[in-house]
């Protein structure tokens, strides 16, 4: 008797992005005049031209150096954090139950995990094309995988708030039955290759250490990293 009729739920749409409850609706489109760039914003755009540093991100590699790994984590987090927005996960958990044509939480999680962890490491390394896994690509792979795994932990972690029990439990199920097996498959492939590809040893060892460490972090069931936010510019 508590089920809400579909005719009613179809009318209860989420608020537009950026809308704050209680605010008066915009009666008309704003004048183009209000869209001008402020002096402060213009200063940020030209900060490097007036003697400031072009590297405005936080760095873990020492003052004055560009932290590539940190930049990769920020870039990955821009997309992943938007998908893992608590209100969005709640809608995904419910909407497919009402309309099967809409993506479900299971489908979104599966596509994310497959896209990030279904990397054909064996084919790339075994073919001798080690350069495809070296340098920036190795760093990018470890950064994106870490940020995604940490995002799942942000839902699973019982100390976090904002998620229903339904979403939290489903995320736990996905972690145990999809994410961890994907990491285990990657670890197994890297372990098998470590003896047969000495020319790629450095890349394999780095990725193998990453995979085994990620498994331990996920099994702990806690948020294990803090991803820096994009820089907002220098203080005035």
Q: Which two tokens stand for residue 69?
A: 């790994």
Which residues does 194 contact at the CB level (< 8 Å), separation at least 6?
Answer: 201, 204, 205, 208
Give the model's pLDDT for residue 217: 92
What is the reported pLDDT for 214?
Answer: 94
User: How far is 134 from 21, CA to CA, in rounded Å?
Assistant: 49
Distances (CA, A) of 34 to 29, 38, 45, 88, 232: 11, 10, 19, 30, 21
pLDDT in tens, the chain (236 residues): 555 566 666 666 665 555 555 555 444 444 333 444 455 554 554 444 444 444 456 667 666 566 777 778 888 888 898 899 998 999 898 888 888 888 899 999 999 999 888 877 655 544 555 555 555 677 788 888 999 999 999 999 888 778 899 999 999 999 999 999 999 998 988 887 777 666 677 778 888 899 999 999 999 988 888 776 555 444 43
Report the C-alpha gap between 223 and 155 in whole angstroms.
Answer: 9
Q: Where are the alpha helices (DSSP H) in the chain?
A: 6-9, 39-45, 68-83, 86-98, 105-117, 121-126, 136-156, 165-174, 180-193, 201-220
Query: Residue 176: its pLDDT value, please?
Result: 95
- Structure confidence at residue 197 (pLDDT): 67
What lies within 8 Å, CB to CB, of 91 at 6+ separation is: 14
* Under 8 Å between Cβ of 223 and 150: yes
Question: What is the residue extent of each domain of the chain?
Answer: 68-220
Q: What is the pTM of this model?
A: 0.72
């Amino acid at each position: 008797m508590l089920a809400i009729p579909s005719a009613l739920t179809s009318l209860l749409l989420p608020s537009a992005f950026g809308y704050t409850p209680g605010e008066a609706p915009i009666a008309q489109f704003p004048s183009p005049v209000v869209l001008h760039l402020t002096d402060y914003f213009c200063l940020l755009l030209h900060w490097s031209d007036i003697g400031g540093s072009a590297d405005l991100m936080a760095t873990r590699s020492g003052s004055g150096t560009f932290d590539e790994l940190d930049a990769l984590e920020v870039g990955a987090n821009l997309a992943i954090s938007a998908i893992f927005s608590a209100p969005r996960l709640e809608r995904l958990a419910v909407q497919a139950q009402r309309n099967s044509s809409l993506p479900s939480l299971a489908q979104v999680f599966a596509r994310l995990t497959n896209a990030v962890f279904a990397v054909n490491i064996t084919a790339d390394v075994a073919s001798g094309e080690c350069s495809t896994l070296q340098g920036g690509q190795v760093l990018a792979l470890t950064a994106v995988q870490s940020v995604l795994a940490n995002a799942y932990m942000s839902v699973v972690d019982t100390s976090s708030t904002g998620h229903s029990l339904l979403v939290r439990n489903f995320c736990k199920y996905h972690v145990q039955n999809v994410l961890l097996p994907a990491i285990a498959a990657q670890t197994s492939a890297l372990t098998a290759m470590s003896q047969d590809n000495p020319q790629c040893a450095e890349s394999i060892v780095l990725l193998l250490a990453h995979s085994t460490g990620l498994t331990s972090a996920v099994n702990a069931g806690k948020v294990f990293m803090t991803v820096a936010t994009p820089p907002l510019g220098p203080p005035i």
